[in-house]
Structure formats: C-alpha cells, structure tokens
Amino acid sequence: MSDSRRPRVLIVNAYVDPWRSAAPMRLFIPRAMAPYYLAGRFCRDRTDVRVHDEVNHGALLDPRLFEWPDLVVLSGLTAAFDRARQLAACFRHARPGVAIAIGGPIARALPGLCATVFDYVCQGDVESLDDLIDDALGAGRRAEDPGPRFDLVGWSYGLGFVETTRNCNFSCAFCSLTGENRPYRSYSSDEISRQFRAMGRVQMLMVLDNNLYGSNRADFERRVDLIGAHWRRGDFRGWGALVTGDFFKNPDNLARVAANGCKALFSGVESFDPVVLKSFNKRQSLSSDPATLARLCAEHGVLFDYGMMLDFGQQTVAEVDGQIDTLLASTDTPLPALLSLTIPILGTPYFDEAARAGRLMPNLRLSDLDGQKLVEWPKEPLERVVPYVADLLRFRGRKTALLRHAVRHAWSRRSSFDVTQSMISLLGPLVRYGGSLRVGSIRQIRQSWREPRRTYCAMSDPPSVAYRPPRHLPERFARDFEPLYVTDGAGRLTEELQAATAGNR
C-alpha cells in the first residue's frame, strides 16, 4: 500500500435476517460492538475506516460501498458463513485485488474452509488483527494506543457500551463459547477506563460481558465499583449487564450492583424444566425462577430480563403452551426478552450430541441454525409442532394477552422503577412480539419484498434471496452463493462439513 494514500478499511458484521427482512433492525439491543473494537486497532491518522453492521444498518446492497475498500474485515455469528462468502464475492467483483479477512466465531468454527475462501483468517481475539494490518496495509497503519471507535457507532438511543471481561466461566452445552474453549478473563482497571474515555458521556451504559459475575468475587467487586465510580461522576444515568444464575445466590451481589447504579440485569434462565436445563449443562440456572428473580431485582430498583429457549425434542406443545399461558397470566413475571428455539451451534457439545443422536433434520443448511425455525426432529409430529411454532414466535392469537400483560406488569412495578425502566418494561415485550415496521433503503425494501414466505421448519423453508447471485456477477462467482449444508438427505453430517471441521477440537 502506497504511503501517498490512506488505505480504506471496511469492517462488516455479516447477517441474514431470519424474519426475512433486509431493512435495518434499529431496535435490536445490544448492538454488535465487535466491529467498533476492531476499528480501534487501525491508526486514525493513516487509515480511513468505516463500519457496516447488517443488523443495525440492514443488508449491505449499496454498489458504491462494494467499490470503496482496499481491505474488508468480515465478522459475524457462525450461521452467517454463507453471507460472509456472498459479500466477499461482491467485493471482489466490484474491486479486483481487494483483500478480504474473516474473524470471530466463523473463523474459529471453520478455519480450514475459511482459508479457501478468504485471504486472511483470524482465529484469535481483537488483538490478532494487528499482524493482519501489518501484512495487508504495511507498517505504520496500526493504532499506537488502541481503543474502541465508539465515534463510528452513530446514534444508539443514548446507549454506551463497555466490556469488562471476555468469555465465560461456565460451559453450557449449547454455547459457542464452550465450543471455542477459550479462558474467561477480566480486564484491568486501566483497560476498562480506556473504554470509558472512548465512550464519553451517554444516557445509559450496557456492559457487554457474557458474564459480569465470573468466578472471582473480589474481581467482580473491583469492576462493579469502577463502573459505579463513573456512574457517580455522571458519565451515565444507569447501567445494565448479563449475569449467570449463581449471581443471585448471594443477596449481597444484587445490593452491590444496585448501589453502584445498576438499573437492569439479564440472565439466561433458558428453560423452566430442570431436566432440560441439566441436558444443557446449565445447572447454575436450576434455581432461576423468573418470578422470584424479578421480584428480588425490583426490590433493589433493578429491572430483570431473561431468555427462554424452547426444546420440542424434550417438551410437548402442551407443556410449552402451558408455560406461556402461565407467564401471560402472571402479572409479577416479565415476559422473556428473548424467545428462541434451541440452536445446535456448530462446534458446540450440543451440536455434536444432536448429530450423533440423529436429531438433525436432513438437508440442513448452516444458515438455518438461527433459532427461529425447527432444525431438530421434535418429540411430536411435525404437523402439530410446526404450526404451533409459527403462531407462538409471532404471538398470533395472543396479541391481546400480550398487551394486557405488558400494561399490568409495568403498572405493578411503578413504585420500584423510574420512568425509563417503566417504559422499557411496557414497550419491550410489545416491540419483541407485537411486530414492528422496519424501514430501509429502496434496495433493502425491494429485496425484502422478494423474500419467500417463512415456513418455520428447515426442511421446507426456502433460502433467502441473498442466495441468488446479483445479475451483474460473472459465472465464476456462482459457487460463492451456494449454501454450506450441515446434513445430507439422510440427516447425516455432510462430507464437506466433516472435512471443514476435522481437527478443530
């Protein structure tokens, strides 16, 4: 790269929307922050850096952006491998000679396959980008004092983001972090403070840790006290974080975070069935009753949110339906912030066990593993389960009950929450399950109209229109728009996938 021109770098979070929309998903919180941490590794004075997040900005369809970069850095969840490959083809056609790198979960799950598609494969954390920068752009393009580029985030509803730890100290069978087997570690106070300086003042702070609590109580207290010091200084009005179920076993933990400005906590309850939790190796959540935890949090002025996964391989429609009806009838219990089907994420113990047991459906694409369609054989006949899933994920037939619950739950917490918390409590479930209008560019809206109707079952769900190569692409790029299949017609792992993952673990 010539020293006479600043190299142009585009960092892309690849994503294919399971709800069949190419428009931006502006209300999805938390936003993907990895691209902005990656952007901070580049020297501001000697590179031009942009970020495109296909969740927050919508599908990347602008031909001018495909022609712009000298270096593209792609990231995303494992299921976005196909999308990353499609984007690489578009960039290479628009700008021959562009260097394309892949990192994050995709690179760690499929390093060998990625090496045949992309120019650089980064399997490490954000720091591993430094060697790539030197090789692709030349010396002097790295930041001397790296820090996240929060200035590139744009408007984010007054939210700021920091990270105080990496990875998780638990090994849930379904979690990609378990498959990657990377150690849990916390940041030093200096590292955390550097992020605060980059963030500046915001309305609310989200701590992006996979598990704020961790395995060292003294270190947890250090990090919470540091966040609290910034809160008392007026850098933000309050903050939220994700914690594991063991956090709530010591009442002092809740009191400590509340005293340091915490306004919201999220915990992965996942299932109300202890048998299901044990099968997930999620014993830390065996005592995580959302009604009890929500009440305890409210007593400290903290909003409680949680995730719920539905496993129709272990539960019947009647059992799941009864749980949902119980939630809707309970004013004290919030509805889950996340409602998903179980996802056998590639590289996890859960995926390996599902493959060995023959639970994976035939002709399964990697991109099908999005949590919004059946990908495993259910306990009951498909003709009973699939229509139920289609209705439940859209709360069809339950809209009135949804509205009634949201209003009553928010009203019941009015004495515990401030105005912002009350609005989140009221509007959160309505936005999640009530449906919302998403508006994007003309290209994004046109692509959304072309999307085939969802069937909520991987065996019948047609691929996204993103798999159709744009008309202007030469035939040599057609291979880049073919899906990576996880299983063959008999439900066995494909030879291509086995070759791609051989030796990973």
Task: Yes or no: say if 140 and 43 are a contact pair by the CB < 8 Å rule.
Answer: yes
> What are the backbone angles phi and psi of residue 311, rounded to the nearest 5°?
-120, 95
Q: How many CA atoms lie within 13 A of 202 on its CB side?
A: 25
Q: What confidence tens digit (pLDDT) does each residue in 194-222 have? A: 999 999 999 999 999 999 999 999 999 99
Q: What confidence tens digit (pLDDT) does each residue in 56-95 have? A: 999 999 999 999 999 999 999 999 999 999 999 999 999 9
Q: Is the pLDDT at 19 greater than 80, yes or no?
A: yes
User: Averaged over 400-420, what is the pLDDT?
Assistant: 94
Q: Is the pLDDT at 143 greater than 60, yes or no?
A: yes
Looking at residue 436, its pLDDT comes to 72
User: Averaged over 341-349, what is the pLDDT?
Assistant: 94
E strand or H helix that includes residue 230:
helix 217-232
Q: Is the pLDDT at 127 greater than 80, yes or no?
A: yes
User: Averaged over 335-347, what is the pLDDT?
Assistant: 92
Percent of the chain with pLDDT over 70: 98
Looking at residue 256, its pLDDT comes to 97
Q: Is the pLDDT at 2 greater than 60, yes or no?
A: no
User: Averaged over 371-384, what is the pLDDT?
Assistant: 96
Residue 431: pLDDT band with limits 50, 70, 90: confident
| Dist CA 390 CA 339 (whole Å) | 13
| Dist CA 76 CA 12 (whole Å) | 8
Beta carbons within 8 Å of 271's beta carbon, 6+ residues apart? 277, 280, 282, 285, 308, 309, 311
User: Averaged over 467-486, what is the pLDDT?
Assistant: 94
Q: Is the pLDDT at 150 greater than 80, yes or no?
A: yes
Looking at residue 4, its pLDDT comes to 66
Q: What confidence tens digit (pLDDT) does each residue in 249-305 have? A: 998 999 999 999 999 999 987 777 777 878 887 776 666 688 899 999 999 999 999
Long-range pairs of 316-323 with CB within 8 A, sequence gap ≥ 24? 316/379, 316/380, 317/380, 317/384, 317/385, 317/388, 319/273, 320/388, 320/392, 321/388, 321/392, 323/272
In this structure, the number of other CB atoms found within 10 A of the CB of residue 378 comes to 23
More confidently predicted of 176 and 223? 223
Task: Yes or no: say if 78 and 36 are a contact pair by the CB < 8 Å rule.
Answer: no
CA max distance for the chain:
67
Looking at residue 279, its pLDDT comes to 81
Looking at residue 370, its pLDDT comes to 93
User: Averaged over 88-111, what is the pLDDT?
Assistant: 96
Q: Is the pLDDT at 26 greater than 90, yes or no?
A: no
User: Averaged over 332-347, what is the pLDDT?
Assistant: 92
Strand partners, 341: 310
Strand partners, 483: none
Q: Is the pLDDT at 503 greater than 70, yes or no?
A: no
Task: Yes or no: say if 437 and 21 are a contact pair by the CB < 8 Å rule.
Answer: no
| Dist CA 369 CA 16 (whole Å) | 11
Counting Cβ atoms within 10 Å, is residue 96 exposed (0-12), middle (13-18) or buried (19+)? exposed
Handedness of CA 258, 424, 175, 113 (dihedral sign): negative
Nearest-CA neighbor of 262 among 301, 292, 217?
301
Looking at residue 287, its pLDDT comes to 65
**pTM over 0.75, yes/no:** yes
E strand or H helix that includes residue 101:
strand 99-103
| Dist CA 205 CA 235 (whole Å) | 9
